Amino acid sequence: MAEQYDLIVLGSGPGGYVAAIRAAQLGLKTAIVERELLGGICLNWGCIPTKALLRSAEVYNHMKHAKAYGLAADNIRADIEAVVARSRGVAKQLNQGVTHLMKKNKITVHMGTGVLKAPGTLEVTGDKGVETLTAKHIIVATGARARDLPFAKADGNRVWTYRHAMTPKEQPSKLLVIGSGAIGIEFASFYNDMGTEVTVVEMMDRVVPVEDADVSAFLEKALVKQGMTILTGAGVESLDVSASGVKAKIKGKDGKVVESQFSHVIVAVGIVPNTENIGLETLGVKAERGIIQIDGHGRTNVKGVWAIGDVTPGPWLAHKASHEGVIAAEAIAQELGNKDVHPHAMDRGNIPGCTYCHPQIASVGLTEAKAKEAGYTLKVGTFPFIGNGKAIALGEPEGFVKTVFDAKTGELLGAHMIGAEVTEMIQGYVVGKTLETTEAELINTVFPHPTISESMHESVLAAYGRALHI
């Protein structure tokens, strides 16, 4: 007999497990299927453990500069094994937390590999053998994996993906990072702070190319000042991997190819959705280059089949996946007769992005360039951290906040920050954008003093020629 549910969620990452919890809250009999670890990549091999690594590197960096704070710290050293052990402990704690949440919300967990066999039918192969599960609705939340380069296949020894970089067998002496998106630049920042000689190669003309151009320029200067080598407009032509290291041929923006030796390489050139071999073709689910096409609530073209997270169009971020999970669960509950839920479609323009390098980056909405391309007449304000008392007191005066407004209506179109703790501040602008805030509300908001967040207020004031502290 097949086990019957209202909803089955395939994948337990930040999209999947949140969707399951919200569905259970709404009274749906819910199951979740996971082939590896509850919490998926984010909790176990992505967002959370990388932040634990970066925190260790941040503390170590502060210790190295103790004299600047009037302190003395002698004979300090980094213990990469202990740093990694702490990171894995954090991941384990959160994995156990998700396990608890599944029990608390009475969600049935099936460990194994799930394949769609027909609308409403999922076959799970795991420790219990083959199980057949049925449900009126199924959410596909199988996430994504690191993209390989044809000539740079990860081996876990000399050539790494983010997963290998998170649990290194040894600390690299000289590291090549291919790609300067969030994953690449975070690991470059971590290993650089830990004492590794780091080179970053980016094929685009600037690092973190999805960010505002001013943020990219500031970050590159900061990273070079920290000792990194940054090669933009460049590409890796080939890798020659041996037991002792990696020879890389790198073509620079001048067209010249230079061969350099590295101890290790991290390949961080994007992700590939995990949509193969799960039965999508059997059901006729529409996908483009492996990315499942959905409406604003997560519906696919096949009735009863939904998709969220990294298997759907970007941005590919954990918090976007979680929000999509809530939307899909509520839409399913509504279809099943719940009149008390009113799901809203995802507005991708209000999804913030955060990069936890040193210095941090956070943004939401349109960059200045994209806003101009869209035809807006703009008012743009920038405020540097050097004008902020709290940033100076913290010894973190490098950074700025930039805001972009529609000059005609005052609508906040975008906000872009780089500097200390900006990932904790961006939500202020996200709330503002969600509420369709104009400059008037932001100007009339009282920001607490002394805080770095005052730079947000000053940036808005600067856009309208009213900045007070610069």
Residue with tokens 């009475």: 106
The span from the CA of 429 to the CA of 345, in Å, is 20
Residue with tokens 């710290």: 73
If you ran DSSP here, which 8-state letter would residue 358 be given?
S
Residue with tokens 């819910």: 30
Are residues 205 and 373 in contact, defined by beta-carbon separation less than 8 angstroms? no
The span from the CA of 382 to the CA of 448, in Å, is 19
110 is catalytic: no
- Provide the token pair at 124: 């799970």
The span from the CA of 247 to the CA of 151, in Å, is 12
If you ran DSSP here, which 8-state letter would residue 446 be given?
P
Catalytic residue among 297, 323, 449, 457: 449
Residue 55: strand, helix, or coil: helix
CA distances from 300 to 124, 147, 345 (A): 21, 25, 14
Q: Which of 149, 228, 233 is nearest to 185 (CA)?
A: 228
The span from the CA of 388 to the CA of 394, in Å, is 10
Termini Cα distance of the chain? 72
Residue with tokens 């980094």: 78
The span from the CA of 236 to the CA of 238, in Å, is 6
- Provide the token pair at 266: 């991290």
Q: Which of 361, 333, 364, 335 is nearest to 349 (CA)?
A: 364
271: β partners: 146
The 10 Å CB-count burial string (b at 16+, else e) for 65-95 is eeeeeeeeeeeeebebeebbebbbebbeebb
Q: What is the DSSP string of 31-49?
A: EEEESS-TTHHHHHHSHHH
- Provide the token pair at 202: 């980016």
The span from the CA of 268 to the CA of 146, in Å, is 7
Q: Which of 163, 239, 170 is nearest to 201 (CA)?
A: 239
399: number of Cβ within 10 Å: 26
Residues 6+ apart with CB under 8 A from 363: 211, 212, 215, 352, 353, 414, 415, 416, 417, 426
Sheet holding 197-202, edge to edge: 159-160, 264-267, 174-178, 197-202, 229-232
Catalytic residues: 449
